[in-house]
Amino acid sequence: MAQTQGAYYVPHGSHWPIVGSLGLFGTVSGAAMWLNDSPGVGKPIMAVGIALLVVMMLGWFGTVIRESVGGLYNKQVDVSFRMGMIWFIFSEVMFFAAFFGALFYARELVVPWLGGSGKGAMTNYFLWPEYTAAWPTNGPDDIGGSFQTMTPWGIPLLNTLLLLTSGVTLTISHHALRAGHRGRTIAFLALTVLLGVIFLGFQIYEYAHAYGHLNLTLGSGIYGSTFFMLTGFHGLHVTLGAIMLTVILFRCMKGHFTRDNHFGYEAVAWYWHFVDVVWLGLFLFVYVL
């Protein structure tokens, strides 16, 4: 029942959620089979699952865009969407918090304890008397073999500047949208996407360098674990953000957004700034300190 203009729009039945559930189910059960040494069965199931998720997103977002352009949403619906996005980003913040927490706990407590300070004196004495606490470390058993770390003042610094610049270009684009300058909106949005893609390119180069030349891998003890999980999940989010920005770019070109009504644009912008802020934390705590 598409309600009358002015009332809160309550959509009627949708088959996209169940498609999404099947997609999630296929993705994770396929992935689990793959991990359990049945890649032959797991991979195709996972591929089908991911394909379903993509179909679901295209269909679901397509429906929402049509409804939005069709004028079914009032101010109150807009506020619901905003709250949804804000709390989603908060949940992402907490996801990263778990990994940052692991990094801080390992650096500030675990490694010193393994080196014999505080409550770890006996562990150190009986198991690893040779081990002295240091950071970076791959632990008392030298897991993964000796490795070198990335210097923060090369590619990571460059990447920091790239992301910060992308935040600025996105803001310029947003101001242009609000001022009604369509050309400038699109140009600066495209520039933002480009900066994001360059960032990802450097990140891939950095990983190749780490694996190929520094012997720094996911298996390099606690340093490698925290380094790759934090930067990896961040990179995944940049990828997602870049895809979202690209979608928004196309929507700008199609003229979906008006000066006053462009929540989709703003949601993606919020997400991009969130990814940006996470990177600043990474740069400081993973690379510099």
125 to 154, contacts with another protein by CB under 8 A?
Answer: 127, 137-141, 143-144
**C-beta closer to another protein: residue 44 or 59:** 59
User: Which tokens go with 167?
Assistant: 């935040």
**The only residue of 2, 58, 61, 87 in contact with another protein, by rule CB under 8 A:** 87
Instruction: With contacts defined by CB under 8 A, name the span among 173-181, 207-215, 218-226, 270-278 that binds another protein.
Output: 218-226
SS3 20: helix
Is 61 an interacting residue with respect to another protein (CB under 8 A)?
A: no
Quick one: which of 44, 59, 116, 219 contacts another protein (CB under 8 A)? 219
User: What residues from 230 to 289 belong to the interface with another protein (CB under 8 A)?
Assistant: none
Q: Which is nearer to another protein, 178 or 232 (CB)?
A: 232
Angle 166-197-57 (CA atoms, 0-180°, nearest 5)?
Answer: 100
Among 43, 50, 55, 60, binds another protein (CB under 8 A): 60
| C-alpha to C-alpha distance for 97 and 278, rounded to whole angstroms | 10
Beta carbon of residue 105, minimum distance to another protein (angstroms, whole number)? 5
Restricting to residues 165-194, name those near another protein by CB under 8 A. Answer: none
CB-based burial, 263-286: b 16+ in 10 Å, e otherwise: bbbbbbbebbbbbbebbeebbeeb
Nearer to another protein, 202 or 211 (CB): 211
> How does DSSP classify residue 151?
-
| Binds another protein (CB under 8 A): choice among 39, 62, 71, 101 | 101
Q: Which of 11, 39, 62, 145 binds another protein (CB under 8 A)?
A: 11
92 contributes a contact to another protein by CB under 8 A: yes
36 makes contact with another protein (CB under 8 A): yes
Tokens found for residue 190: 């495209």
CA atoms of 41 and 29, how far apart (whole Å)? 10
Stretch that binds another protein, among 22-30, 155-163, 176-184, 261-269 (CB under 8 A): 22-30
Residue of 2, 51, 54, 97 interacting with another protein (CB under 8 A): 97
In sequence order, what are the residues at sequence separation of 6 or more whose Cβ sits closer than 8 angstroms to the Cβ of residue 133? 111, 112, 114, 115, 116, 117
Q: How far apart are the first and last CA of the chain?
A: 57
Q: State which of residues 48, 50, 57, 102 lies at the interface with another protein (CB under 8 A).
A: 102
**Element housing 77 (H / E):** helix 75-105
Closer to another protein by Cβ: residue 98 or 289: 98
Q: What angle do CA 57, 62, 68 make, to 5 degrees?
A: 130
Residue corresponding to tokens 């600066």: 188
